[in-house]
């Protein structure tokens, strides 16, 4: 059983967020599975798992200092595509694709979305 039902980050521009996540998560084989009017959208493989929404209290969204959300990548090529696509769609680099030292097969990339939320992707398959 998974430990999360879903994860949510905020946005100040739902249109920009939809474009960014459609393309960036698309590089990992994920898709937008639902829109909640003009307030939110949800992505996943086949079910809702990751949501981007305008804050419910009407205040501007802010990102978590120290918070990171990690997506599973099916391959190292997908890690590289995620990073490249994110940067091409308004994201900023927070760690180029490459090996990570905490396990022998860890390969990851980190970015910030247009609202400053820190996301990454990891592949733990042996090198390709």
pLDDT at position 92, please?
A: 97
Mean pLDDT of the chain: 94
Kindly give, in sequence order, each residue whose CB lies less than 8 Å from that of residue 52, ignoring residues fewer than 6 positions away.
8, 9, 10, 11, 14, 17, 18, 21, 40, 41, 42, 43
Q: Which long-range contacts (CB under 8 A, 24 or more apart) does 53-57 make?
A: 53/8, 53/9, 53/10, 53/11, 53/14, 54/10, 54/11, 54/12, 54/14, 55/10
- Each residue's pLDDT tens digit, 7-33: 999 999 999 999 999 999 999 999 999
Q: What are the structural domain ranges in the chain? A: 7-55+67-123
Say which CATH topology domain 7-55+67-123 has.
2,3-Dihydroxybiphenyl 1,2-Dioxygenase; domain 1 (3.10.180)
Residues of the chain with pLDDT under 50: none
Distance in angstroms (rounded) separating the CA atoms of residues 78 and 97:
10
């Amino acid at each position: 059983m998974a430990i999360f039902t879903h994860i949510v980050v905020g946005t100040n521009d739902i249109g920009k967020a939809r474009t960014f996540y459609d393309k960036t998560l698309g590089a990992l084989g994920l898709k937008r599975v639902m829109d909640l009017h003009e307030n939110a959208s949800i992505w996943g493989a086949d079910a809702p798992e990751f949501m981007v929404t305008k804050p419910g209290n009407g205040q501007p969204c802010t990102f978590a200092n120290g918070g990171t959300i990690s997506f599973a990548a099916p391959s190292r090529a997908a890690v590289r595509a995620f990073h490249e696509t994110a940067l091409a769609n308004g994201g900023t680099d927070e760690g180029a694709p490459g090996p990570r030292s905490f396990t022998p097969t860890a390969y990851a990339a980190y970015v910030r979305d247009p609202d400053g939320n820190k996301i990454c992707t990891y592949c733990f398959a042996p090198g390709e």
